[in-house]
Amino acid sequence: MKRIWFLGFLPLMLLFASCEKNDVGPYYSYIYKEHFIDIYYTGGIELMHYGSEGSCTALRIGATDMDKFIIEANNPLEYEQQAELHGDYFNRWVYEYRGWCIKIFAEQFQSLHVVSDADWDEEHPAGTLLDDLLRVEFTSIGAFVRGGYHAGGTDESEWMHDWQYFTRVDKPVSELTPSDMDMMECEYVLLYFMRAPTLEREHTLTVILTTTEGKVYTDSLYCIPEVESED
């Protein structure tokens, strides 16, 4: 099974980098970062197909409205406000992979649900939650930021390509908790079908993402769900 933990943190553009740098070899820079998080996303969500063309074994929840990305270089006041809200005061020199970007949803979420407009099986008629039938994969950084940025390395620097500071979530949607979604990355939240429908073949699925403030984001997508092959 493919793993895409790193994809959500690739750069949107190199212009997003806005910190003092000293290049170290062809791939890394030694930089001072006042804040760990580079970009905050304040827009809605889009539900998309993910995986092989012509099949629907997984769905992707992503951030696609380019006007809703808050970047320090373009929106310094809003960026500082978000950093304060998230308690993000990194203030250290680090070795960072060149072009690296940490992008998260600006809002905190308390729940994620999925429903269909058609009957899935006898236990899941149209309109009922399908949370126990889908598995969700994404990364979050809340535990790392709130825990004082401890991820190994030395007192002076850390290698920011080391994945140990990300919380990797991989569980049924029905088992998801608000703490899992603490500072959730905003581009690659994946939903995999664990069981194919046995009644209706075609479905319009709706994702419902609710913030801790009660704001609800939704998007829908037509698909013919399949279970991913283990080959």
Q: Assess if residue 124 is contained within a domain.
A: no
114 within some domain: no
Domain-embedded: residue 91: yes
pTM of the model: 0.83
CB-based contact 225:203 (threshold 8 Å): yes
Strands 103-105 and 39-41, by their bridges, are parallel
Q: What stretch of H or E contains 82?
A: helix 76-85
Complete DSSP assignment for 4-60: -TTGGGS-S-GGG--S-EEEETTTEEEEEES-S--EEE-S--EEEEESSTT--SEEE
Each residue's pLDDT, cut to its tens digit, for the chain (231 residues) gives: 444 443 444 344 333 444 445 655 667 788 889 999 999 999 999 999 997 666 799 999 999 898 999 999 999 999 999 999 999 999 988 877 777 789 999 999 999 999 999 999 999 999 999 999 999 999 999 999 998 887 544 444 445 555 567 889 999 999 999 999 999 999 899 999 999 999 999 999 999 999 999 999 999 999 999 998 765
144 found inside a domain: yes
* Structural domain range at position 27: 7-107+138-194
Structural domain total, the chain: 1
